[in-house]
Structure 1
């Protein structure tokens, strides 16, 4: 395992996701306050890869610096609010999901084991003519 590499990759995914969420929030705000700019940003977002947050922001810098500053502020705010709870929430979520998956797996294993042993017993009963 490579924990530092995994941590870096995870941080990048979260950063990209927070950028995406910041853009969504700003789109919602602009829809109410400046519909024309909201349409423009929606079209820009549709034609540029927002999944790579930093590249998206760099491209947007050439188009609308004010929007870039707004995205940076919102994403920084989201990061400060969200990241405090993330480690505990992720650990808890994985723990709960793993427990549920293990429960389902155990149910399937015991179900298939009981089906196998039931069919084995019935085969033994059918093949032994002296059981009467």
Structure 2
């Protein structure tokens, strides 16, 4: 897979996630201002519908109650994207570097433990073998 394809797939995942976060934020806001609408949107959004943000929005547009919510979701999602995407490249890069460093450290610890355990086992086996003089 080419880097451009990976970037395209990553952008789709981020877009879907921002849609999810926008809906979550709107439900939280509606809980305070319009509880009935919040309940409806929460129930409508359940069951994995938000896995694909664009399909979710298309389906919500076909609902009588959903048309105004779609405009709100689009606005909130756009605002979230503006706020988040500025920091995302650096945060992802730093996070991956830190996680990789930690994984490598633990792997090295395991490898050195395995090596020292194997050396201890070899030493024990050598000590238990009869010497040439005893054969």
Q: Taking structure 1 as the reference length, what is the TM-score of the superposition?
A: 0.95
Matched, 1:88 2:90: yes
CA distance in 1, matches of 2:33, 2:20: 20
- Residue 43 of structure 1 corresponds to 43
Deviation at 1:80, TM superposition (A): 0.2
CA distance in 1, matches of 2:132, 2:48: 77
Name structure 2 gaps, 5 residues minimum: none
What's the CA shift string for 1:93-121, capped at 9, x where partnerless?
00000000000000000000000001101
1:1-132 matched pairs, under 5 angstroms: 1-47=1-47, 49-63=49-63, 64-129=66-131
Q: Taking structure 2 as the reference length, what is the TM-score of the superposition?
A: 0.93
CA RMSD of aligned residues (A): 1.4
The count of residues paired between Structure 1 and Structure 2 equals 131
Dislocated runs of 4+, deviation >3 Å: 128-131
State the secondary structure of the residue aligned to 1:109: helix
